[in-house]
């Protein structure tokens, strides 16, 4: 699976050096990013029409980050060169039969004179051909315990803008009303910068590990495959300079990894968690989360030493796509699997179902299996929408034509193409997903603040506090209803009553903060004005 429309290797070393020189000149602040203002000045020397340059930017910034790195800059320059040669600019142009290696750099009027005058210090190019970025200023924004005033001038991408809004406007609300204790840990720099993640869930031996190996076209450190439960831990498969496995306790304390929140599940979980790193082009765009097989039948009597459902719910909030894997002989949804799927509430848009190993049954049986699967899922997924199901055999073995027949083979190939297309879209939509999750978090934090302050208000001033607290906890659903009616909030946005009740038992409600309308208003303004303005500032500069 290739994600880049043009790999760095499609550009000769000589041209890479030329583009590096140009990139250093165009990057006015030397941060390794060419933003819209930089691009409009530099690209104008190509003398292409505004419409052509709009297409160039849209294709080069396919992830909609609001800037071009060195890799994307090369793509833009190659598109400009092709446009100057008379090619119409389309998304398929770079993947066509054009010889990119011998494609000459574009003609940029007056650039040679500007380069001669300018003695801009060039940055080294790493082995992958990407510009060696200066240490990100945004990483230091999270280092201080106090809320710092982050200057707007230091924001050079949509993600930077979200970090700034979080630190200055959302985080104070979360800290004041202990959102991190009840709902989700405070965000860190690595949470914003993390690559898109895909989590695989399913019963044992439904082909989760094999599925990842099939996509990577190779094994990865710590991968075990067998008919019985072989993956007994959560394994994060991500990009790294060399192939190695990192224990969970080590992963959870590394600042450059977005897994510090997993420490809340304790050592029992961290001993069943590891990170598998390896150099791979696919892993530069997507991180995979392989999970232990969900227990069924007699195995459900074995109690896990950690909160399995809580962990899957934590990963679900971080992931961009959740794949539920079934095979034709394991369609029953066990009690544990039921709890796991229920924990995915609120992430329905991320869920896809994969009916794996479908070549083990003939076409007639496959129709019955599909119907039985949809019936089983219908009882668990409380949604009127029909969930997308991919049917196929996702492994490196040839399709069993003797069983599935020619129709089955054709169906599996089309389904595999659709699934791969879905996966390829993940990096492109990663920035949009970050914004979506940020807005969801802000709304959840607001509702949490309303709940906490309401409970505080219901407490007596002097006598009978313990009795009043117990009464509030027992009647929590009723209190949620009061908050919902008072502030006109959507009932579906409220947290799970039982989970909230369990968390609440460990706190003294009388110590909670009263409602601070100014903090709520700051978050409302952020949602209504700041985020739309951020998106406007980093949209296609030629729109």
The DSSP string of 232-260 is -SEEEEEE-SS-EEEEHHHHHT-TTSTTG
pLDDT value of residue 296: 65
Number of domains in the chain: 3
Residue-level pLDDT at 322: 92
Do 24 and 82 fall within a single domain?
Answer: yes
Q: What is the pLDDT of residue 124?
A: 45
The helix, strand and coil proportions of the chain, stated in percent and rounded to the nearest 5, come to 55, 10, 40
Q: Is residue 122 part of a domain?
A: no
Q: Is residue 218 part of a domain?
A: yes
Rounded to whole angstroms, the Cα distance separating 88 from 91 reads 10
| End position of a domain, from candidates 345, 377, 397 | 397
Q: Tell me: do 312 and 276 sit in the same domain.
A: yes
DSSP string covering 459-522, please? S-SSS-HHHHHHHHHHTHHHHHHHHHHHHT--GGGSPPHHHHHHHHTTS-GGGSPPP-HHHHHH
Which CATH number characterizes residue 79's domain?
Answer: 1.10.238.10
The verdict on residue 138 lying in a domain is: no
Please indicate, yes or no, whether residues 55 and 99 belong to a single structural domain of this protein.
yes
Query: Distance between CA atoms of 16 and 8, rounded to whole angstroms?
Result: 9
Cα–Cα distance, 316 to 321 (Å, whole number):
8
Give just the sign of the alpha carbon dihedral 416, 417, 419, 423. Answer: positive
Please give the residue range of the domain that contains residue 288. 191-397
Do 318 and 231 fall into the same domain?
Answer: yes
Specify the pLDDT at position 270: 92
pLDDT score of 175: 93
Looking at the fold, whether 162 and 203 belong to one and the same domain comes out as no
Q: What is the pLDDT of residue 225?
A: 61
Q: Are residues 284 and 183 in the same domain?
A: no
Q: What is the pTM of this model?
A: 0.81
Output b/e per residue, 251-284; b: 16+ Cβ within 10 A: bbeeeebbbbbbebbeeebbebbbbbbbebebbb
The residue ranges of the chain whose pLDDT is under 70 are 1-9, 94-99, 119-154, 224-231, 296-302, 382-385, 399-408
Q: What are phi and psi of 388, to 5 degrees?
A: -75, 130
Supply the pLDDT for residue 126: 45
């Amino acid at each position: 699976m290739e994600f880049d429309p043009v790999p760095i290797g499609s550009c000769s070393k000589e041209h890479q050096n030329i583009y590096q020189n140009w990139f250093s000149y165009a990057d006015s602040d030397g941060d390794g990013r060419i933003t819209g203002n930089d691009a409009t000045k530099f690209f104008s020397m190509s003398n292409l029409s505004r419409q052509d340059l709009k297409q160039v930017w849209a294709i080069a910034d396919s992830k909609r980050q609001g800037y071009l790195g060195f890799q994307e800059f090369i793509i833009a320059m190659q598109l400009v060169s092709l446009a100057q040669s008379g090619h119409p600019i389309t998304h398929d142009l770079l993947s066509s039969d054009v010889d990119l290696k011998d494609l000459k750099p574009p003609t940029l009027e007056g650039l040679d004179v500007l380069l001669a005058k300018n003695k801009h210090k060039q940055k080294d190019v790493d082995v992958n051909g990407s510009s060696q970025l200066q240490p990100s200023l945004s990483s230091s924004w999270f280092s201080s315990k106090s809320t710092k005033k982050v200057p707007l001038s230091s924001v050079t991408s949509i993600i930077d803008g979200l970090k700034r809004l979080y630190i200055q406007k959302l985080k104070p609300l979360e800290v004041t009303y202990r959102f991190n204790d009840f709902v989700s840990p405070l965000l860190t720099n690595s949470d914003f910068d993390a690559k898109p993640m895909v989590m695989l869930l399913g019963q044992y031996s439904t082909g989760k590990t094999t599925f990842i190996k099939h996509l990577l076209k190779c094994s990865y450190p710590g991968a075990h495959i067998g008919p019985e439960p072989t993956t007994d831990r959560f394994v994060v498969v991500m990009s790294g300079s060399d192939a190695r496995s990192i224990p969970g306790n080590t992963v959870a304390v590394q600042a450059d990894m977005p897994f510090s929140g997993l420490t809340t599940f304790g050592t029992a979980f961290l001993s069943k968690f590891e990170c598998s790193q390896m150099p791979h082009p696919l892993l530069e765009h997507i991180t995979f989360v392989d999970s232990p097989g969900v227990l069924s039948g007699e195995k459900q009597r074995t109690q896990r030493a950690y909160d399995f459902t809580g962990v899957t719910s934590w990963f679900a909030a971080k992931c961009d796509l959740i794949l539920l894997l079934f095979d034709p002989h394991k369609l029953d949804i066990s009690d544990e699997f039921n709890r796991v799927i229920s924990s995915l509430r609120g992430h329905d848009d991320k869920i896809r179902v994969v009916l794996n190993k479908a070549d083990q049954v003939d076409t007639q049986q496959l129709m019955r299996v599909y119907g039985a699967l949809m019936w089983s899922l219908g009882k668990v997924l409380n949604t009127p929408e029909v969930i997308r199901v991919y049917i196929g055999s996702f492994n490196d073995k040839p399709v069993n034509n003797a069983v599935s027949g020619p129709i089955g083979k054709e169906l599996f190939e089309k389904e595999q193409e659709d699934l791969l297309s879905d996966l390829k879209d993940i990096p492109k939509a990663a920035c949009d997903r970050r914004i979506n999750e940020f807005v969801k978090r802000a709304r959840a934090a607001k509702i949490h603040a309303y709940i906490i302050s309401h409970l505080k208000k219901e407490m007596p001033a002097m006598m009978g506090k313990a009795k009043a607290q117990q009464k509030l906890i027992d009647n929590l659903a009723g209190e949620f209803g009061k908050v919902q009616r008072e502030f006109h909030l959507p009932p579906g946005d409220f947290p799970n009553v039982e989970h909230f009740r369990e968390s609440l038992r460990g706190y003294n409600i009388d110590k909670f903060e009263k409602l601070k309308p100014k903090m709520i208003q700051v978050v409302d303004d952020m949602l209504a004005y700041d985020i739309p303005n951020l998106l406007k500032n980093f949209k296609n500069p030629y729109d």
